[in-house]
Amino acid sequence: MKNLIDKLYETSVLTKEEYVTLISSHTDKDSEYLFSLAREVRQKYYGKDVYIRGLIEFTNYCKNDCLYCGIRRSNKNAERYRLTKEQIMDCCQQGYELGFRTFVLQGGEDPYFTDDIIVDLIKSIKSEYSDCALTLSIGEHEHKSYKAYFDAGADRYLLRHETADNEHYGKLHPHNLSPVNRKKCLYDLKEIGYQVGCGFMVGSPYQTAENLADDMLFIKELQPHMVGIGPFISHHDTPFRDKPNGTLEQTLFMIGLLRLTLPYALLPSTTALGTIHPLGREKGILAGANVVMPNLSPRSVRKKYLLYDNKICTGDEAAECRFCLNKRMESIGYNIAVTRGDVKQI
């Protein structure tokens, strides 16, 4: 395995078969070797800086019915909420005071938020916080909507591709959702000029090592600025309630592979990773990640944005999360940077 990891380190790409071999048959020793190279590459581009993004989960209404997701349309037990513009602006203000220079507006695909409403929100946030980056994570939209958001000032867009394999995509989503359209959205976003993030769940139901290898090849082709990955975690009110969770080990290994495949990339150590292990986010950083995305949503709604069971930090205030993360990052020799945290090179 060491020769394959060395090859990836030197050339930043492997064949599908080589990725499959690494993903399906590495040992703990291989992982440690991969992580040491991933840290070295990360260090070269980003030093010991960890970028923070303030996540504002502004609506949990969703018109989609993704089989894995706790806020899917047909989950009648989800208590729905929408934040008002005033609440969203308050989140930004609190976040700014805590040192956040990127805000992420994330939500379900909620038709209440028309393009006009989203554009107005973007303009208000960007005029109040012109030194901050604004990221949207609100799902699939028409090219003209993405363009309107961008022209209003949105800088970045997160849209996980979820899985690059069409057949696998069909097992995770209802049939009205198309893997082809999902990918088209990512290319549209890139062409418009956004910094783009794709990504996938590790250990999602029916996923194979071949699927993960295809994810790596898709990412190599798309050349996104960011890649968000985290373990699949089952939610008790979804059809996948009895499916096993993705593992810490496999998720960390994929982070390491991503760092060597896209050396410059912004790679978050996600909340889902922190949910399956108490030190998950620290381990993610030590496997090559360089971003964390703590929650800025008001405490009153945090438990309602439940994509999966046992999500961490749902009882904390934004300030508590910020200080907790500071301590966690310092404990492993890294430090949170007060900056927009743009990608270094593409």
Which residues here bind ligand SAH, judged by CB under 6 A?
68-69, 106, 108-109, 137-139, 159-160, 162, 201, 230, 232-233, 235, 272, 307-308
Instruction: Give min distance, CB of 327 to ligand SAH, in A.
Output: 25
Contact 238, 75 (CB under 8 A): yes
Kindly state the smallest distance separating residue 50's Cβ from ligand SAH, in Å.
20
For ligand SAH, the closer CB: 156 or 235: 235
Amino acid occupying residue 249: E
Q: Is the dihedral of CA 139, 145, 146, 148 positive or negative?
A: negative
The smaller minimum CB distance to ligand SAH, of residues 258 and 337, is found at 258
- If the CB atoms of residues 108 and 280 are measured against ligand SAH, the closer one turns out to be 108
Q: Which residue lies nearer to ligand SAH by CB, 54 or 337?
A: 54
- Residue 262 beta carbon to ligand SAH: minimum distance, rounded to whole angstroms: 18
User: Which residue lies nearer to ligand SAH by CB, 201 or 329?
Assistant: 201
Distance CA 19, CA 268 (A): 21
- Least distance in angstroms from the C-beta of 64 to ligand SAH: 7
CB 56 within 8 A of CB 302: no
Q: How far is the CB of 12 from ligand SAH (least distance, A)?
A: 25
Among 146, 254, 247, 226, CA closest to 191: 146
The smaller minimum CB distance to ligand SAH, of residues 231 and 341, is found at 231
CB of 333 to ligand SAH, least distance (A): 28
> In terms of CB distance, is 110 or 282 closer to ligand SAH?
110
At closest approach, how far in Å is the CB of 302 from ligand SAH?
A: 15
Question: In whole angstroms, how close is the CB of 66 to ligand SAH at the nearest point?
Answer: 7
Of the pair 139, 298, the CB lying nearest ligand SAH is at 139
- Of 164, 223, 168, give the one whose Cα is nearest residue 16: 164
Minimum Å distance from CB 159 to ligand SAH?
Answer: 5
Q: Select 46 or 308, whichever has its Cβ closest to ligand SAH.
A: 308
